[in-house]
Structure 1
Amino acid sequence: MQTRTERFHGNITNELSENIEQIKIYLAQTEDLILTEIKSNNFHYAIMYLETMVNKESLQSFIIEPLLKENTGEEENTIKVYEMKKSSKISTIGESLLDGFCLILRENCSFGLLAAAPESLGRSIQEPENEQVINGPHDGFVESLNTNVYLLRKRIRSHQFKVKYFVLGNITNTKVAMVFIDSLANRSLVEEIEKRISLINVDHLQSTGSLEELIEENPFTPFPQILNTERPDRAVSYLLEGKVCIIVDGNPTVAILPITFFSFYQSPDDYNHRWLIGSFFRIVRVLSFIIAISLPAIYIAIVSYHSEVLPMGILYSIRVSLEFVPFPPLIEAFTMQIILELLKEAAIRLPSPIAQTIGIVGGLVIGTAVVEAHLVSNTMIVVIGLTAIASFVAPVSEMGTSARLLGFPTMIAASIFGFFGITLTLMCIFMHLCKLQAFGIPYFSPLAPFRKEDLKDIFIRLPIWKLNTRPTNAKPKKLLQQGSSRVWKKK
């Protein structure tokens, strides 16, 4: 007698009723498994499918109706679907049913015919709300893996564009695609990423963030080591630098790796505007990182230890606002930072109209109330407001959140040691950035290690006709990306 496990991994037989029962057992007797039996001439067919995964119109028009007219026994030539395959393994048939296939079993036949008729429900392509740009494309990734690969292929029409699939999760069987350009991506980098993904053994994988945690090599650093984007044009730009994209089915974000610190402060708008404008905003963003980390700490240090650095007029204004505040500056800053995070989280979780009300009214009411109650000084409200704006400047919100988190230890150090504490904390942060590596690539490249040739697209963006070589941080196979682009001027 066959055991349950043997039956799951066995083959179907010539007995139609037994085959139907094995498929039902494999799929745990689920009630959305539909069985339809039809007789056509001298043939007896059993059609099995998951009604939640199959398009009913395609099933009726391209599978059932042709079978009703079948009289030759060659069903694969009669059924009109874009994909069809044969299988006799119960496990293969069950997995195909979960992918939207329809199973056709025939009496006295030891194999099943699988015809594709999947239901294609999903969100339409639209501009991502988290990464909006002024100029440039306004399409974004969606939850469908195939659609996301299409958005990349539409922009890179090259025979070197390569896709490699994985299936992760013993229960969820989530499809994951690794995308890269074979002629550019470093072979050792691709093999390392492929090895890390293939060694994952989990029951479920539901998001790109979960995959990121499973393959990153420094899980305790506050800095993100993989860039997640919803913009196809951004993903394409990194593919053309020799980097790798990871797409998880069911997620509208694409992971790009390896990545460096300065990539989080680059925006597609930098390349859609003229280079002077793009460079100006690039510098503003990089400076915002320092402001988000150190501005509250600088205020605490000045008020507590170094008031002599301020002009007398400004110092008098600050002292007046602090006269009736019963708490030390550190408690003020911590309280306002936590209130800021609470308002941000509330705005994210609530419906859009209510979120706008909470953000504006909540901020104004709470800010005014705490000042009038002499719980927080006016200057602290200004400092925390500037800090929040500086952290929100980052094109990737995850880096802005990391900057705000790093502000807490910097404030503690400033309250104990003053300017020396700020200097010490910033030194530790930058030492950590210099030491950090992501997939074998220096995270703070091209500053550590210093690469002069890569500085042309870091703090400023040189004109496009000057960007003749690719960044060397991902070690692409081919460094030259364009020849002389302004030959017309020489002529």
Structure 2
Amino acid sequence: MSEETLADTIHSDFHLNIQTMNNTFSNIHDFKTRVFEIKERKIGITYIDSITNKDIVNGRIVNEIYKLDYKDSIVDIPVANISVTDNFKKIYSGIMDGKVAIFEGNSNIAFLVDTGLFETRSIREPDSEKIVSGSHDGFVESLNKNINILRNRIRTPNLKSEILSVGGGDITTNVSILFLENIANQDVVNLVRKRISSINLENNLTPGKLEEFIEDNSFSPFPQILETERPDRVTANLMDGRIAVLVEGSATVSILPVTFFSFYQSPDDYNTRFILGSFLRIIRLLGFFISISLPSIYIAIVSFHYEVLPYELVTNIKSSLEYVPYPPVVEALIMQLTLELLREAAIRLPTSMAQTVAIVGGLVIGTAIVEANLVSNTMIIVIAITAISSFTVPIHEMSSSIRLLSFPMIFAAALLGLVGIVVGFMFLMIHLVKLESFGAPYFAPLGPIRFSDLKDTIIRVPYWKMKTRPSTAKPINEKQSTGKKGWAEDGE
């Protein structure tokens, strides 16, 4: 046994154990040590006062310690969660999690009692993922409370939850992996577990950092892990055989593996009639193409291919461009960058001020920039439609990605016109088809074609017609419906 391992082992010397704890947590003002001598029996408790529940410490631990007989064990204390350890590192980690460590004289083991008291905000609907109908709750920053929310929705012992301590050195973060054992593919679960366990980061782990460590291609502009704060979205994906990853201290849950089309699906699609849900989904996907291509198409037509437009429209566009001193590509870049600045300012400012900035930016600056002949009226309309289209995406990260992709398309159109746009879309489609998310094709079921999964992609069929789960998650139990209405099977 190495010296480091010996140093981490609890001693049989009671006073030495207490001294070790005091030395480790020195200069921590809220670290408390209390020593009791009851019936010739020495017992000591150590904890951090600010993150422990004082009612449990005083009512359930201290009072019960005074009632212990000489032959009684510490594990007889009536608390919900008590564990035994002989390692100081586990005690240090437990203390920082809000637990109470109990030492006993002439014993080389210690007891950890869960008394954590971490303040969290109340449950409410996420501001960035609002829906019209359905549940209106969201995750919070407590890992246990988030797991509780999901277990309240999926009440089955098949919902498995694993806790991994991720990080390096003394700083670790608890990460939970949730999946349905009777549906999820164990090979995918093992792959996720392996990638998360390999993270060695001496820093606080967040879902964003986790995503960069475990995703297949960190240099792709497209997110390969879906991050959400909605429990109903996580529940639906768990039922499809996917895996949810929760990080302590964050209200964002990561879902994997996912496809490109997963980012364009909303709980509203399933809370409304399938015809309306399909229509809304088509609108969102149409918004993807508009956001990426509309400014570049305008630049290509005005700069190279104006003959494709009717004569009357060419006259109107030419009159709006007559006094603008630079080419359309510069116009587009000015307006796109201005829009991003306004959007970033609106996010960072308080709500009341953000509304003022939006009004000033949209009306005052927009009107002034046209009157000053810095940008044409037509370009204002193009950029406005582009911005509105990008905001139709239900997931914020995908919305940001497609706005970013509009810039290289603008440069391609400025260089080669419509040919540049075609070449740009070719590279984009090739990248989407090659991309993977934990072994699942990112552009499935269109690349490769999977006809059985088309029922819930661009459109969705009635839910009772969805006989199988999506194959991209590789579920071990694919069947989820008979494909018929149960009450109509007898011909009623």
Query: Shorter-chain TM-score category?
Result: over 0.9
What amino acid is aligned across from residue 409 of structure 2 in structure 1? T
Change (3 A) 1:85 1:437: closer
Distance 2:327 2:145 in 1: 54
Distance 1:61 1:213 in 2: 45
Q: Which residue of 2 aligns with 1:450?
A: 449
Query: What CA deviation, in whole Å up to 9, does each residue of 1:258-289 have, x standing for no partner?
Result: 10001111111000000110010010001110
Give, in angstroms, the shift of residue 197 of structure 1. Answer: 1.2
Q: Which residue of 1 aligns with 2:132?
A: 134
Distance 2:43 2:471 in 1: 60
Give, in angstroms, the shift of residue 38 of structure 1. Answer: 3.2
8 Å Cα contact 1:81/1:117 also seen in 2: no
What amino acid is aligned across from residue 427 of structure 1 in structure 2? M
Distance 2:470 2:91 in 1: 47
Query: What CA deviation, in whole Å up to 9, does each residue of 1:4-55 have, x standing for no partner?
Result: 9466412222232x21111123335533211123343433432211112211
Q: Which residue of 2 aligns with 1:46?
A: 44
What amino acid is aligned across from residue 22 of structure 1 in structure 2? T
Matches within 5 A, 1:121-270: 121-170=119-168, 171-270=170-269
Match of 1:97 among 95, 98, 105: 95
Q: Which residue of 1 aligns with 2:411?
A: 412
Query: What CA deviation, in whole Å up to 9, does each residue of 1:410-445 have, x standing for no partner?
Result: 111111111111111111101111111111111100
Equivalent residue of 2:128, what SS?
coil
Say whether 1:426 aligns with 2:425: yes
Q: Which residue of 1 aligns with 2:11?
A: 12
Distance 2:480 2:8 in 1: 51
Query: What CA deviation, in whole Å up to 9, does each residue of 1:63-95 have, x standing for no partner?
Result: 112223444352526633211223332222222
Change (3 A) 1:451 1:6: closer
Runs of 4+ residues over 4 Å off in structure 1: 3-8
Q: Which residue of 1 aligns with 2:31?
A: 33
Distance 1:408 1:46 in 2: 64
Question: Which one is further off, 438-447 or 31-40?
Answer: 31-40
Equivalent residue of 2:171, what SS?
coil
What amino acid is aligned across from residue 148 of structure 2 in structure 1? Y
Q: Which residue of 1 aligns with 2:335?
A: 336
Match of 1:56 among 54, 67, 70: 54
Change (3 A) 1:73 1:124: farther
Q: What TM-score results when the alignment is normalised by the length of structure 2?
A: 0.95
Match of 2:104 among 100, 103, 106: 106
Equivalent residue of 1:173, what SS?
strand
- CA RMSD between the two structures: 1.8
Give, in angstroms, the shift of residue 447 of structure 1. Answer: 0.6
Distance 1:454 1:87 in 2: 49
Q: Which residue of 1 aligns with 2:390?
A: 391
Give, in angstroms, the shift of residue 331 of structure 1. Answer: 0.6
Q: What TM-score results when the alignment is normalised by the length of structure 1?
A: 0.96
Question: Which one is further off, 282-291 or 451-460?
Answer: 451-460
What amino acid is aligned across from residue 256 of structure 1 in structure 2? I
Give, in angstroms, the shift of residue 110 of structure 1. Answer: 3.3
Say whether 1:345 aligns with 2:344: yes
Distance 2:75 2:146 in 1: 32
Query: What CA deviation, in whole Å up to 9, does each residue of 1:339-361 have, x standing for no partner?
Result: 11111111111111111111122
8 Å Cα contact 1:8/1:26 also seen in 2: no
Q: Which residue of 2 aligns with 1:441?
A: 440
Distance 2:464 2:87 in 1: 58
Match of 1:82 among 80, 83, 87: 80
Distance 2:261 2:289 in 1: 13
Query: What CA deviation, in whole Å up to 9, does each residue of 1:143-185 have, x standing for no partner?
Result: 1111111111111112211112111112331000111111111
Question: Which one is further off, 152-161 or 298-307?
Answer: 152-161
